[in-house]
Structure 1
Amino acid sequence: MLSAGRLSGRRATALAAAAAATALVLAPLAAAGSAAPAAATTTGATSPELTIAAVDPLVSEGESLEVEIVLDNPTDAIVPATSVEVLLTAAPIPTRYGLTRWFAGQSLLASSVIATVEVPAAPARLRATASATIDAASLGLDGRSWGAYGLAANGADLATATSVVVRDEPGEASPTRLSLVAPIDAGASDGLLDAAALEAATTIGGEARESLDAAIAAGLSFGIDPVFAASEAALGGEAPEAATSWLDRADRPEAYALEYANADPIAEVRAGVHPVELLGVPREDAPMLPPGVADVGTAAPVIDATSAVLRQDDLASLAGIGTVVLTTAGLDEMLVGSTPSAHVSIDGVEALAADAELQSLVREAVLDDDLAAADARARTLALLATITRERPSDSRALAAMLPASSLGDIGPLLSDLSDAGFVDTVEVEEALRGEPREASLAELDDPARDAGAELVTAALAQEAEVSSVSSIVEDPSALLADLRLQLLGALPDAGRAVTEADRIAIEGLGGAMGEVRHAVQILGGSDIQAVGQSLPLPITITNELDEPVTVQLSVRPSNALVTVPDPEVDVTIPASSQQRVQVPIEIVGTGGVLMIAQLSTPDGVSLGQLQTIRVQARPTIEAVVGWTLGTAIALLLGFGIWRSVRKRRRGEARGDLDDRPLRGRPQTTGTEETA
């Protein structure tokens, strides 16, 4: 029999699930139900379908069973009310193969009707729900063998729905040890949580609070997102007390640190950049905090590779970071007989291989909607019971990864597992004890292998572009630290395949980075009529950052009608403001000229786009005369030089007397002899 504490916990879970189902609780063999105002949920179905699940799949001696039946109607016609028979197999399903066939509707096992439930009519595109409580006598499990019993619902003109319940009286059987790992993440964020979001997550009833409580109660290893600690530190005295208490409670030996914002270490390893870490924690109106304030957990990291197709080099790199959990679907091995323990050596690299079927059920039990999750929890317990029955005297150590806490509620599954007498939930180190079995990685196609790495590379390339212009601010490290927070929040999450949402996040990150690169720029202006000899050229620079910037402004003319005595000027623009700079220019000719203005960082990196200002130059009369005289002198000098060179070439220049022949005098050649 159940203890008072266990019974009350089981009853609380059952009552909560029943309330969520909005169905009537009936006496044994009674018929009742209600049409639920919800859309039909059967994915891809073209005809009405039944679903059945036990509210609490564990049944002990003398306990009743509460079941819930849903009639999904994906058609445009009303499905009339119908009587549904609830059946239970006469004996436990003995093997994993038998369980698979039962769930696929391919197994014909001796069964008996234990209840009849009237399911109301299901309107078009909606579903109808009914529930029934079957007392222990009608259930007929008292005194029977322990294990997984098939549960079915059968209605006229409807396919039979299958589920399972577990008689939880394992006797002397050695419980199966299950190392579940619970990643507790902060969910979608820009890198930090504000006070309201942090308090909502960590207070009583909050997502992170409930997940942590459930993981500690079940004795699991759990990962903590450093976002929680970084946010609490950034808020300082304004941090909610609930967050501080939560972090203190999470500081346990079985806690390890997730990658920041639960980023995927596999994508980072494949991109060759692991780890992508914090650069600091920026604060408003206060100095930036060092990245160490986000440190949480002391245990070795656990890497969720259950959704990845690994190669040996991936595995070796990841094993150097922490404990890798993959699934048996990715292994090339021949298993005969009972289910093995999870500890495995893959060509010399040790890891944990989660049973592929168990891992899939664990995910469904957390991620699916209420009824589907209840059915997945029942199947999970049935599988574990069947594995335990394979070798009752030989305890195995299995492993599985729970989905991140932001994706679903891990509490109901952990509650059921804690209640079960045939399974013990333990820390991940338990699964690593003992000798590993030998295996190799299977050679599997993975068309999306590089998808995560490509997004990581793209994000870091965008960050590098901003880094190249960060010297415009007084403290570049604060600017880069803030951008790194946004980058980490946008990277693909661990434990799942890359999604379109990940690609959109990286594209959005590129937009945010682009805003920083173009936050300081020259505003376009109207044409300028420049009259005079020397006058200032007005150029307006805008700074959209929330801190002052220092840039170098360079100005050059497109022709010689205008000169710029000081073509490069250092300019400091206050935060979120505009500043007009007067650049002196000199007018030396009449006509149109384009003044080309360009901003750059103090270390010479171009910033933003070129801007051109059209200037119509009209110098004063003195400048015109001076320019004309100067031009005339230059032309005369040029003409004189040309004429002199030309004459020299002809040998007729006045200074070349020695080269001219003597006119009227006889020419002699050779050497004159003397007497």
Structure 2
Amino acid sequence: MVADRNNARRPALPRTRRRLLALLLSAPLVLFPALAVGQSATAAPAPVATAATNTVSMATDDDSVTLSLSPSASSILHINEDLRLSVSVTNDSASPLSSATVEVYLAERALTTRTALNDWLDPDDDRDSGELMLSVPLTAPVQPHSTVSLDVTVPNASLGLFEWSPWGPRGIAATLSTDDTVRAAGQSTFVWYPDTSTTQVPTVTPVNLAVAMPITTPAGSTGIIGSDDLAAYTASSGILTRQLDGVINKPVAIAIDPMIIASIRLLGSAAPPTAVDWLARLDQAENDIFPLGYADADPSLAVQAGASGVPVPLSLNFALDPNLFAATDQVTPPAGQSEATDPATPAPTATPESPTSTVPTLEQLLAWDYTSTTIAWPADNVVAQDDLAAFAAAGLSTTILAAGNVTQSDEDATASTTTALGSDELGLVADAGISTALRTAATATTDDAWRAAMAEVSSQIAVVAAANPAAARTLLATIDRGWPPTAARLAQTIQALNELPWYAPTTLTTATATPVSTSVSFAAQAEPTGTVDLAARLIDRETELNDFSTALADPVAVTAPNRLALLALLAPAWQSDTTAWRTAVGDNLAASHEVLRSITVTTTGPINVVGSKVDIPITLNNALGQAVTVRVQVVPSNGRLVVGNDVEAVLDASSAKTVSIPVTAAVGNGAVTLRVSLFTPSGAAIDQPSLISVNVRADWEGIGSRIFAALVVLFFGFGVWRNIVHRRRDRALAARTEADPHAESGADPAPSASAEPTTEPDDLPTAPRG
């Protein structure tokens, strides 16, 4: 890569003289390498370059060698100053790196455009490294899994920069070679700024830069931050404390997650003292403050997943403990009491009213004195065209856009930050180069990495200022979400930014009011397909829960926690760990499925129906902690049974209840399957239908009646027959008695004539009959 060739080329010594000078200046290092060996804190100074080694154990082993380059002091180079650089060589290979040489190059031309600057910092493989300034051999091998740092000084005389050289960014590069083979390379920049020149002081029109910083917490899945987490986040080294310390009362707009504010207030008197103090500090901050979505939910992801609009919390009452909010007694003075009273007259006693509840409402929990409430801040490069209408409908008329969501007619020209998105909608476009460098600096973990990032920040702003000396540009830079636990350089980054001569801080309100750029237009993007599909399942499940909740005595007790969990799972912070996000979404879907199955039919059958008209008992179970109202619908699988109308039932909390379903046997006997479905009063189905098997014996009642009738007939018939038989025998006996009187009594026949007559008394009773 060759930097832009234009009239901004830096004046320099002839190439031959420059190379000769470089060789002469580096000769002591070649001839006397021992001068350049030592620890970083005790290295002996060399006339041109100093080398220091610091070996750091590395955890990775990817068979690679890398080199990083950064200014070792300020990224601004003044007249008559030497260029001091820090070079770090990391050997992640399995073998030592020996006989290596570091070569330092300077770009042949000034970096006068954004394209030239970005190409230098992110070069192609075949790019031109520039002109060789120094060649420094490594005096000791770089051991496997270790890093060696070198402090290299390029003399001012070899740079070819003079008082009349145009101010602005310059490219610097370094390579690591072994056996004439380049093993690694690194690039950086510095800004040539001869402000102490006596002949030509640079004309600088600073860039008006607004910086927006989101204050968020690590990704969660409930939508409420617990007391223990709040205590940790707001401790002296906690994530929220470090974020607020870095930007409070500095020219940075704060985008606050309302979940943080609400979670602290929810705890009432039980809130951690550090959290209460943190909230008080935020309240006293002089920064512009505007809200993110609750739980930092990405509004674009919600809309693209099928939400009807930008979702917001429904209620927080389920998470409130009234005992944590002390009630206040209101004293009512007696009616008609005059202001002027006689001192001798005893004052009437005031009557206290009932205590007034101080449990906050949702509006009170979320209330804040925001600078603006009309700003939407989606994730980077994901805003679709339809999202803008949904934002506007929610009152979000201004949208912060990443550079990937816009196109620019002239890539080298830097437009102001505002662009039109519609008749009343405005876009605030974050500058990609400045934002990326700021984010890298704020999250840097080493001094070298931070200095390299700040050098890029300085150059990104300087190239805009140098290209527009007659008119100031107003730009926006954004700090990323998802604050790493190791990030501790935010305050240092903001302080270093304020020290740049070509930077002028401005507020987000001022940036919003700048004229709209005509050369920038909106470019629709979209969330990743897999992300949208999974988020759509959350949106669909919420619809199911909303329908289900119409059966509940208190629907918000179910829908409000689910809405908070939905918002939390739509946060951009999950993008850094998609595996954990998919697990959290799966857990949420499983938990909500259990809620949908909390009202069930427990009767399974089989049930025997032995009459033409019967009531079938069906038992319903309610596992929820509140009463529900359901409509029971029973549909038979065939015409053997006819079911009556649907039955409505009210189930108490955590209880079971049996309802009777009237059925009528129609034609024939056999098996019937009853499909039992539960519906909410609004008509939404509850869970899947249950199947109950029924055995129909509809003619048993008729058969039993006929058998009973036959038995009755037989019983009475037998009685009649018996009476008839007895009467006939009685008549026959009577007839025989008349014909033979002795026959009735059963006396012996009359004796013969020769027998002596037997004489009986006349008063003896007649013998009984039969």
User: Is 1:397 the counterpart of 2:474 in the alignment?
Assistant: yes
Name 2:336's counterpart in structure 1.
none
* TM-fit CA distance, 1:437: 3.5
| Superposed counterparts of 1:305-384, under 5 Å | 307-308=380-381, 318=391, 321-326=396-401, 331-335=406-410, 339-345=414-420, 350-366=426-442, 375-384=452-461
> Residues 242 and 63 from structure 1, CA distance in 2 versus in 1: closer, same or farther, beyond 3 angstroms?
farther
Equivalent position of 2:761 in the other structure: none
- Map 1:427-446 onto structure 2 (within 5 A): 427-441=507-521, 446=525
> In structure 1, the residue corresponding to 2:174 is in which secondary structure?
strand
Once the two structures are superposed, what CA deviation does each residue of 1:553-605 show, in whole Å capped at 9, x if it has no partner? 45676679889899736242434xx5363748899898655454433334443
- Structure 1 distance, partners of 2:678, 2:708, is 37
Report how far residue 227 of structure 1 moved: 0.8
What do you get for the CA RMSD once the two structures are aligned? Answer: 4.8
SS of residue in 2 equivalent to 1:227: helix
SS in 1 for 2:453: helix
Q: Which residue is 1:295 aligned to?
A: 367
Q: Secondary structure at the match of 1:482?
A: helix
Task: Report the counterpart of residue 245 of structure 1 in structure 2.
Answer: 277
1:426 equivalent among 473, 481, 506: 506
CA 1:160–1:169: 2 relative to 1, 3 Å? same
Provide the C-alpha distance between the structure 2 equivalents of 1:518 and 1:160, rounded to a whole number of angstroms. Answer: 61
What is the TM-score with the length of structure 2 in the denominator? 0.64
Instruction: Tell me, in whole angstroms, the C-alpha distance in 1 between the residues paired with 2:555 and 2:195.
Output: 64
Name the counterpart of 1:175: 206
With over 3 angstroms needed to count, the CA separation of the structure-2 counterparts of 1:140 and 1:427, relative to structure 1, is farther
Separation (CA, whole Å) in 2 of partners of 1:118 and 1:295: 63
The answer for the alignment partner of 1:514 in structure 2 is 593
Q: Alignment partner for residue 149 of structure 2, among 120, 127, 131?
A: 131
Q: Which has the larger radius of gyration?
A: 2
The alpha carbon displacement at 1:220 in A equals 0.8
Kept in 1, the 8 Å contact 2:54–2:147? The answer is yes
Contact preservation (8 Å) 2:216, 2:296: yes
Residue 97 of structure 2 aligns with an amino acid whose one-letter code is: P
Q: Distance in 1 between matches of 2:650 and 2:391?
A: 48
- CA distance 1:613–1:92, shift in 2 (3 Å): same
Equivalent of residue 255 in structure 2, options 188, 198, 223: 223
Instruction: Find out whether 1:38 has 2:59 as its counterpart.
Output: yes
1:259 maps to what in 2? 293
* Distance (Å, rounded) in 2 between the aligned partners of 1:434 and 1:587: 79
Worse overlay, 288-297 or 204-213: 288-297
Match of 1:612 among 680, 685, 691: 691
1:163 is matched with 188
Cα displacement (A) at 1:195: 0.7
Sort the Cα spacing of 1:284 and 1:176 in 2 relative to 1 into closer, same or farther, 3 A: closer
Any conservation in 1 of the 2:207–2:472 contact (CA below 8 Å)?
A: yes
Alpha-carbon distance in 2 for matches of 1:389, 1:64: 21
1:159 positional shift: 3.2
Could you tell me whether the CA contact under 8 Å between 2:219 and 2:574 is conserved in 1? no
The residue matched to 1:71 in structure 2 has which SS? Answer: strand
Moved more, 196-205 or 343-352: 343-352
- The residue that corresponds to 1:662 in the other structure is none
Change (3 A) 1:430 1:569: closer
- The equivalent residue for 1:200 is 232
Q: Quick one: distance in 1 between partners of 2:381 and 2:314?
A: 28
Tell me, yes or no, if the aligned pair for 1:551 and 1:601 is still in contact at 8 Å: yes
**Residues 64-106 of structure 1: CA deviation (Å, up to 9, x unaligned):** 9673514253x6x424245453637499944235534433273
| Map of 2:756 onto structure 1 | none
Moved more, 559-568 or 213-222: 559-568
Does 346-355 or 497-506 show the bigger shift?
Answer: 497-506
Question: Residue by residue, what CA displacement relative to the aligned partner does 1:117-143 show, whole Å, maximum 9, x if unpaired?
Answer: 5575353xxx42123456898999999
Q: Equivalent residues in 2 for 1:138-153 (5 A)?
A: 148-153=169-174
Structure 1 unmatched ranges of 5 or more: 1-22, 631-675
CA distance in 1, matches of 2:390, 2:652: 47
Contact kept in structure 2, 1:168 and 1:422, CA below 8 Å: no
**In 2, are the aligned partners of 1:304 and 1:494 still within 8 Å (CA)?**
no
AA of the residue aligned to 2:239: E
Identify the range of structure 1 (243-252 vs 216-225) with the bigger mean alpha-carbon deviation.
Answer: 243-252
Aligned-residue sequence identity (percent) comes to: 24
- Assess if the C-alpha contact under 8 Å between 1:531 and 1:619 holds in 2: yes
Amino acid at match of 1:50: L
**Structure 2 segments unaligned to the other structure (5+ residues):** 1-38, 197-202, 323-358, 710-770
- Are 1:417 and 2:497 matched, yes or no? yes
Match 1:461 to one of 511, 517, 540: 540
Looking at secondary structure, tell me which structure has more strand per residue.
1
Q: Secondary structure of the residue that 2:225 maps to in structure 1? A: coil
Separation (CA, whole Å) in 1 of partners of 2:670 and 2:420:
81
The residue type paired with residue 341 of structure 1 is S
* Cα displacement (A) at 1:193: 0.9
Measured against aligned partners, the alpha-carbon deviations of 1:304-359 in whole angstroms (never above 9, x if no partner) come to 46833767776577576243333566555444976443344568764333333334
CA 1:304/1:284 → structure 2, altered by over 3 Å: closer, same or farther? Answer: closer
Q: Is the 8 A contact 1:598 1:611 kept in 2?
A: yes
Conserved? CA contact 1:398–1:431, under 8 Å: yes
> Post-superposition shift, 1:168?
7.5
Secondary structure at 1:299 match in 2: coil
